[in-house]
Chain A
Amino acid sequence: MGQTPFVMQLLDTLAALLLLLSFAMLAQRRVATLVELFALQGGVLCAATLLLAWRTGEENLLLSAALTFGVKVLALPWLLRRMIRRLGVYWDTDPLLNIPGTMLVGVLIVVFSFGLAQPISALASTATRSAIGIAVAVILLAFLTMITRRKAMSQVVGFLSMENGLFFGAMSATYGMPMVVELGVALDVLVAMLVLGVFFFQIREQFDSLDLDRLESHQGGR
């Protein structure tokens, strides 16, 4: 349990990297790159978990690092890449808000997140205090990514990135949730992706596109 400030600094760096990747995803309009950024975010998350596991000696964290690596670095990006190839979605159409505007909103979100996280950080005596603020920011930025995109695929990557933020929050504040919960969440996410895979093909069969604008013009009798 070496309380070396160096480890703490490293962890803070990784947290900052996580936030940076969220911003990169917010600005990215190429769907394939979005998926790579997501995989990278999973990698950073995995590294942070390993670091924390090494510092605290919690075996649970080793398991959850392995889970992160398997699900978020390997399985999900692989599924997403395959979907992109087979569905042929490469670019997102014009986002609802232009990129500088989105970035500006993103910065405001980060400020807000740190404010919101203040009372929680004060309580969490564990690893890093800034981490919770960053986790909240990652969640909300992912949310922003989702609402400013039109392609179903980009929205899904945003959704998964939100889950990364949640996971980072749980890990940094409490050394992870109980194992059975983590396993369950990972299973849900995987199943969600499989369901979506089926779903996307159905949507494309019907509409010849994954553009959500087209989808919304078919609202039932309202």
Chain B
Amino acid sequence: MDLLALLVTPLAGAIVLAWSGAGRRAPEVNAAFSLGTFAAACALAWQVATHGEATFANDQFFIDPFNAFLVALTAFVGLTTSLFSRPYMRIEAADRRVTPGGLRLYHAMYQLFIGTMLLALTTNNLGLMWVAMEAATLSTVLLVALYRTPAALEAGWKYFILCGVGIAQALFGTILLYIAAERVLGAQGVGALLWTHLDAVKGQLEPRVLSIAFVFLLVGYGTKTGLVPLHNWLPDAHAEGPTPISAVLSGLLLNVAIYAVVRCKVLVEGSLHSAWPGRMLIGFGLVSVAVASFSLWRQRDIKRLFAFSSIEHMGLVAFAFGMGGPIANFAALLHMTVHSLTKSAIFFAAGHAAQKSGSQSIDRIRGLATVSPTVGWGLMIGALAILGVPPFGVFASEFLILTTAMRDHPWATPILLLSFAVAFAAIFSRVQSMVFGDTTLRRLPHSPALLPVFVHLGLVLMLGLYIPPFLATWYGAAARLIGGGG
């Protein structure tokens, strides 16, 4: 019942907003539907916390500790982003950067995007997961190109074609998985693509086919995760779209993509009885961390800067899942949560900062703290949190990942430490110049919504100091489920 509400609410929202998305109260309607989705997600999470995992509709859908917290997180960030987008999109409309038609498209697609991500998270069917991931891309392509500037159109095209080709590889991987599964579960086997069924028989799946399948799945979903060298679309898509979309792309879509990679990795590792898939993730992850943090130095655009930071953090998550074992998995799950909260908060603040200066160029944003202390300090605290300064949650997860790396893969530690230092210097110097100093910024026609920024950062701070028991239980159970490690 809760699951049905969770999936139907955004869909209903999309239909309603497709008709009335340009209306005067459309931003509130959007937020109301997001609130409904969040309520359903909470009910579902409560059910998992009290009754344990469950499957629905002939095992077609399932919820376990691994996706329960992601569902709650997705619905939560979906809600706060819709709150942030109320004044943000009104200012964009007042500046005539977006037409009423564009606004209608924006609101309808926003709901559809959240809905497809929730579908991808809760479906037990790996084929349906692929369909939902592709639908998530499609629903945001036109939003990335919403402003119709040459750069925005290029970003939209790149996003469409690179993610499209990438995800086609993932479909091939899924087909290969199905071929192997059919041998074990029978022809037209009921549930030959259902993850829980596959997980039960993973030891019997043909290893050679599964290893080929994993390469395709990793390349496919890895493209969507933004792993280097498949990350080319990500900075453009994050920089050119409206800021609420940057926030949900970075905070949520990347999480869903890495979720898909990890689900596949569990099956392949179970079949191969070796840590080879994990080592692939370690390789991709480390390269992403290193390349992204050095690329930070070359960024002149505030949203592009934080887009590269997302690549870095997704690389770190991939690295941690690659190492496997209870502690690294726990850290990776925590890192997914805190990165998502922090990064979306940063995008909220950065979005308003860019509106105030009328430009996303870092050089033109000056003295935020003087004009608008909340935006300025929101950006500063957010940046410190994402850079892993204690006592924020990012510090806790990065510390766990680093200590596990020192124990299991000592050769990787210097690379990680150097990358962290480089990223710190690059982001901190830029944010500092934007927050302090003289200013030429303007006042905004609608007062910005900064509550979400501080709610997010407050949660990240809390997770750094204290993880609620139910969340810790989920992380622990999910970490055992993911397994791996030697």
Measured between alpha carbons, how far is A191 from B165 in the docked complex, in Å? 16
Interchain nearest-CB distance for A74 vs B (Å)? 21
Q: Are B135 and A173 in contact (CB under 8 A)?
A: no
- Segment of B140-148, B260-268, B325-333, B460-468 engaged in the interface with chain A: B140-148
Measured between alpha carbons, how far is A219 from B179 in the docked complex, in Å? 42
Residue ID in chain B nearest A186 by CB atoms: B131
Contact with A along B177-208 (1 / 0, CB 8 A): 01110110001100011000000000000101
Measured between alpha carbons, how far is A219 from B172 in the docked complex, in Å? 31
For A188, give its contact among B135, B155, B304 (CB under 8 Å): B135
State which residues 398-443 of B face A: CB under 8 Å.
Answer: none
Measured between alpha carbons, how far is A192 from B136 in the docked complex, in Å? 11
Residues of B within 8 A of A175 (CB): 187-188
Q: How large is the interface on A (under 10, 10 to 19, 20 to 34, 35 or more residues)?
A: 35 or more
Q: Are B168 and A166 in contact (CB under 8 A)?
A: yes
Residues of B within 8 A of A162 (CB): 165, 168
For B175, give its contact among A119, A155, A177 (CB under 8 Å): A177
5 pairs of residues in contact across A and B, judged by CB atoms under 8 Å: A120-B179, A169-B172, A175-B187, A187-B131, A216-B154
Given contacts A192-B164, A220-B151, A220-B155, contact A181 B301 (CB under 8 A): no
State which residues 145-204 of A face B: CB under 8 Å.
Answer: 146, 152, 155, 159, 162-163, 166, 169-170, 173-175, 177-178, 180-181, 184-185, 187-188, 191-192, 195-196, 198-199, 202-203
Residue ID in chain B nearest A216 by CB atoms: B154
Measured between alpha carbons, how far is A198 from B183 in the docked complex, in Å? 43
The answer to the question of A3 belonging to the interface, with a C-beta cut-off of 8 Å to chain B, is no
Q: Are B154 and A219 in contact (CB under 8 A)?
A: yes
The answer to the question of B240 belonging to the interface, with a C-beta cut-off of 8 Å to chain A, is yes
Residues of B within 8 A of A184 (CB): 127-128, 130-131
The answer to the question of B451 belonging to the interface, with a C-beta cut-off of 8 Å to chain A, is no
For B165, give its contact among A143, A185, A207 (CB under 8 Å): A143
Interchain nearest-CB distance for A98 vs B (Å)? 23
Contact with B along A121-140 (1 / 0, CB 8 A): 00111000000000000010
Residues of B within 8 A of A120 (CB): 176, 179, 209, 212
Interchain nearest-CB distance for A139 vs B (Å)? 7
With most chain A CB atoms within 10 A of its CB, the pick from B156, B188, B193, B304 is B188
For B142, give its contact among A163, A170, A185, A198 (CB under 8 Å): A198
Interchain nearest-CB distance for A203 vs B (Å)? 5
State which residues 42-59 of A face B: CB under 8 Å.
Answer: 58
Q: Are B168 and A206 in contact (CB under 8 A)?
A: no
The answer to the question of B300 belonging to the interface, with a C-beta cut-off of 8 Å to chain A, is yes
The answer to the question of A86 belonging to the interface, with a C-beta cut-off of 8 Å to chain B, is no
Measured between alpha carbons, how far is A157 from B161 in the docked complex, in Å? 12
Measured between alpha carbons, how far is A184 from B304 in the docked complex, in Å? 33
For B157, give its contact among A116, A205, A215 (CB under 8 Å): A215
Q: Are B157 and A199 in contact (CB under 8 A)?
A: yes
Residues of A within 8 A of B125 (CB): 178, 180-181
The answer to the question of B134 belonging to the interface, with a C-beta cut-off of 8 Å to chain A, is yes
Measured between alpha carbons, how far is A207 from B150 in the docked complex, in Å? 8
With most chain A CB atoms within 10 A of its CB, the pick from B150, B208, B304 is B150
Residues of B within 8 A of A218 (CB): 150-151, 154
Given contacts A173-B175, A191-B138, A222-B298, contact A180 B127 (CB under 8 A): yes
The answer to the question of A60 belonging to the interface, with a C-beta cut-off of 8 Å to chain B, is yes
Q: Which 3 A-B pairs have the closest CB atoms?
A: A181-B127, A184-B131, A218-B150
